[in-house]
Amino acid sequence: MFERSLFRQHLEADEELIMIVHKHWLIGVREFFWPLVSLVCSGVILYVAPVKIVLYVFLVWAAASVIWFARNFFDYYLDAWIITNIGVIDLAWHGWFHRQSTRILYSDIQGVTNEIQGILSTLFNFGKLTIEKISTGALISLEQVPHPRDVEMIILRNMESYMHSKNMKNAKHVQEILSTFIADQIHAEKTPPKKEESKPVKKKRFSLKKA
């Protein structure tokens, strides 16, 4: 619930959130490992030598480790794809003051591909997802996606539903235009033409002047 509330700010008012795709949890473990080791080491040093100078070193070291952990956490958690009923939103977190959001409508998607490469990726079933845009030919990718084939099918299924709905709306709009045009033509044929009112002819009087 909290996750959906956090990412819903990127959606439009009438947009429906289908799925949020993060990197595989193994990537998160790898990113969090060394900051946690650093934090534990600072605590061990304070435990071994509980003196005032070591306490100051511990506080600085622990604060740096927490910032390091938070930075890696946001880099892992906020690099994600949001799959909605009208497209895919690619979120990228580049630092504390640099975030990027790219929206790809289903009507602008040329194709979706997935790639699983390596022993670890094959064993834990995670890989790379790539979307190709029609308008520019640009490739937008998300690495280490869990179950990439399943995510690809979800995108394609929602894309098909979106395009079908769009085609139905376009067909309905064309039908309404044709209906209005035909109704206007029928109304014009049934309406009798207006008769032109004959204007009275004024008689000119000729007067003969005597010379």
pLDDT tens digit sequence for 75-115: 888 889 999 998 999 998 887 888 888 899 998 888 899 99
How far apart, in whole angstroms, are the C-alpha atoms of residue 24 and residue 15?
A: 26
- pLDDT grade, residue 211 (50/70/90)? very low
Q: Which of 188, 89, 194, 182 is nearest to 142 (CA)?
A: 89
- Please give the average per-residue pLDDT across 164-185, as a whole number: 66
* Vertex 52: Cα angle to 48 and 55 (nearest 5): 60
Check residue 101 and give its pLDDT: 87
Q: Please report which helix (H) or strand (E) contains residue 61, including its range.
A: helix 52-77
Per-residue model confidence (pLDDT) at position 153: 93
pLDDT at site 202: 53
Look at residue 129 and give its three-state secondary structure. Answer: strand
Name the average pLDDT for the chain: 81
